[in-house]
Amino acid sequence: MTSTGPVQLAAGLVDTSPAVAMRLLAPYLASEPDDPYALCLAAHALIDLDQLERSLEMSRRAARLAPDEDWPIRLQASALVDLGRTDEARHLARLSVRTSPGNWQGHYLVAATDLAAKAVRADSMAAAEQARRLAPDEPAAHVVVGQVALARRRPRLATQSFEQALRLDPDDTAARHELARAQLRRFRLAAAVSGFLAVGRMDPTNRTARTNLTLIVARAALVLHYTSLIACRLSPSSAQGSAALVLVVLSGAVVWLRSRGGPALYRFLASIPRSDVLLTTWIGLLLLADALLILGGLLTLGRPFGTAASGELSGPASAMIILGLLLSWIRWRRIRSAGRSG
C-alpha cells in the first residue's frame, strides 16, 4: 500500500499528532476514498482519538481493498480490544499472523489480545517470544513477553524482559510500570514503589501507577494494623512488650520511607487525604485503634493486665477495628476495580 502527497505528511504525524493527521487525511479521503494506505492511517489516528467505531469502519474498508495486507486486520483487532470485543480481536490477531507470518507485530498482537481477554495460554507465550525473536530491538516485543510471563506466574522472566526493554529505551514508561509490577509480585516492595514513583514523574497522567501505589499503601496499612493488633493481643501478661514491638514496626516503616521512597513518596502520601477520603479514613481508624491498644499496654506497666484503664481503651479500639475493616473491604474493591495491580 503506497500513497503520496498529504498522506505521507500525515504518516509522519499519526503517532505524535493524530488530530493533525486526521485534518490532513479527511480532504484527501473525500476525493480518494479507496486508498487503503490512507484509510489505515486514518484508522490508526482514530484509535488514538478514541473514535473506535469510525476506526473500525475504515480499517474494514481497507481490508476489503487490500485483502493480502495484514495492517488493516491488525487495526481492526486493536479497535475491537478497546471496544471490549476481545474474542473477535483474538481471532483477527491470529488471522494477521497467517496473512503475514514474518511480521513481528502480528505475533505481538496475538499475545496482547490474549492478555486483554484474560485468556493467556502456552501459545500466548509462544507468540510473544516469536515477536521478540523477529524484533529483538523493539522494546514493545520484550514488554509483551514480560506481561505474558507475569500472567503465567513467572515474575523472574518478566523482570528480565522488562529490564531488557528499558535497556533499549530508558524512557519507556510502559516497561518501567510493568517492571514495578513484576517487582511487587516478587515482594521487592522498595523497588516496586521506586518504579511506580518513577512512572509518576515521567508521566503524571498515568493513573494506573497511582492506583498501584495506593494498593501498596493500603496493603502496608493492613499488614501493619494486623501486626500491631496481634502483638498487643498475643501476650496479655506482658502488654508493655507488645507495645514496644508495635513502636519498633512503626519506627522501621518511617526509616524505610526516608531511605527508599524519599521526597516523591512523601508527596504521594501527602496527596492521599485530598484524593482519597475513604482510604484516609480507613487508615486513620486503624492507626487510632492501634494507638489506643498501645496506650492500654503502656498503662499496664507494672500492673496486672486487664486494669480499668486498659479495659476502657480496648472497647473503643475494638469498635474502630471493626469499622476500619468494613471500610477496608469497601475501599479494596474500589482500588482493585480502578486498574491493574501486582
Q: Mean pLDDT throughout 302-306?
A: 49
**CA distance linking residue 98 with residue 215, whole number of Å:** 41
SS3 3: coil
**CA distance linking residue 65 with residue 67, whole number of Å:** 6
pLDDT band per the 50, 70, 90 thresholds, residue 221? low
The per-residue DSSP string of 218-234 comes to HHHHHHHHHHHHHHHHH
pLDDT band per the 50, 70, 90 thresholds, residue 171? confident
Residue 75: the pLDDT is 96
**pLDDT tens digits, residue range 14-68?**
888 999 999 999 999 999 999 999 999 999 999 999 999 999 999 999 999 999 9
**CA distance linking residue 68 with residue 99, whole number of Å:** 7
Q: Mean pLDDT throughout 5-10?
A: 86
Residue 288: the pLDDT is 73
The alpha carbon dihedral of 168, 173, 174, 176 has a sign of positive
Are the beta carbons of 286 and 229 closer than 8 angstroms? no
The CATH code of the domain at 1-69 is 1.25.40.10
Count of all residues that appear for the chain in the document? 342
Give the global pTM: 0.71
Spell out the residues 6+ positions from residue 128 whose beta carbon is closer than 8 angstroms to its own.
107, 108, 111, 141, 144, 145, 147, 148
Sorted by where each begins, the domain ranges of the chain are 1-69, 209-338
* Closest listed residue to residue 138, CA positions, set 116, 105, 113: 105
Spell out the residues 6+ positions from residue 272 whose beta carbon is closer than 8 angstroms to its own.
214, 217, 279, 280
Q: Mean pLDDT throughout 254-260?
A: 65
Residue 232: the pLDDT is 54
Q: In percent, how much of the chain has pLDDT > 90?
A: 44
Mean pLDDT, the chain, whole residue set:
79
Are the beta carbons of 214 and 282 closer than 8 angstroms? no
**pLDDT tens digits, residue range 204-216?**
666 677 677 766 7
